[in-house]
Amino acid sequence: MLNNWLKTSLLMAAIVALFGAVGMLLGGVQGMIIALLFGGAMNLWAYWNSDQMVLRMYNAREVDGATGGEYYAMVHELAQRAGLPMPRVYIIDEAQPNAFATGRNPEHAAVAATSGILRMLSARELRGVMAHELTHVKNRDILISTLSATVAGAISALAQFGLFFGGGDRDRPNFIVQLIIMILAPLAAMLIQMAISRAREFGADRGGAEISGDPEALASALRKIEAYARGTPMGAAERHPETAQMMIINPLSGGDLKGLFRTHPATEERVRRLLELARRGV
């Protein structure tokens, strides 16, 4: 666990350093200072607000015991099994099957599932998915995922804003260099996000299998979600690709550069590990 936190801290530091480097390249020393100050303020803001920002991006609506039906009851039961406070529960009105968790800690957490996943999966499979998401809460992955999504999005915005910087003096790059930065900086941020996400997905799969007591159900769910998600675009995710790493399966279509930067490990490998856990009686 300590090694995992150290690795994550280094990766988050790399994102902040990238933020400062983009500022330096676009605006010289003054640009770097402004970018770092902005990055620090944004991280502080994101700590308190990024979960609600992400939920708003996906137009998620909160449900309770009266409106959430079996889905809400399932999350309640799994949270008790995991020894967690009851998170807020949301539904996203999207056809693509997917789910994510967000929040700054277990006491201020939320889980969200699309209407597509609620329709498509069996109760047993959905239970495995929600156990996976609650493992992210239990492992405190959710703050890192939400913060990295927020900072990566800001890096993309900063790089694009850089085109409006005046160029030509010795502290600032010319237009061609700015254009290269605009393209490469968001890709670098996405690569760092990939490194943050991959190990955490394997850990959440294992934890979800342990909480639900049914590794095969989660393996079956992952296969189904992968198959259906490929052909069912999710508009909010396409508009905000920095949030893709929060989902249980990458929600992005593979039709452009976004498809080259997958933030999740291969589903086949995740399924293989889960079936191995089932064989060992986990």
Which tokens sit at 109?
A: 């957490």
Which member of 62, 77, 107, 133 is catalytic? Answer: 133
Nearest to 89 by CA among 116, 60, 117: 60
Alpha-carbon gap, residue 98 to 267, rounded angstroms: 14
Residue 161 amino acid letter: F
Cβ pair 267, 222 in contact under 8 A: yes
Active-site annotation holds for 276: no
Q: Which two tokens stand for residue 134?
A: 């609650």
- Distances in whole angstroms, Cα of residue 238 to Cα of each of 16, 96, 189, 213: 24, 12, 16, 34
3-class DSSP assignment, residue 163 = helix
DSSP 107: T
Rounded-to-integer distance, Cα 136 and Cα 143, Å: 9
What is the DSSP pairing of strand 88-92 with strand 99-105?
unpaired
CA dihedral sign of residues 226, 231, 235, 238 = positive
Cα 69 from Cα 89, distance rounded (Å): 11
Q: What tokens were used for 257?
A: 């550069």
Q: Order of strands across the sheet with 99-105?
A: 61-63, 88-92, 108-114, 99-105
CB 172 within 8 A of CB 134: no
List active site positions: 133
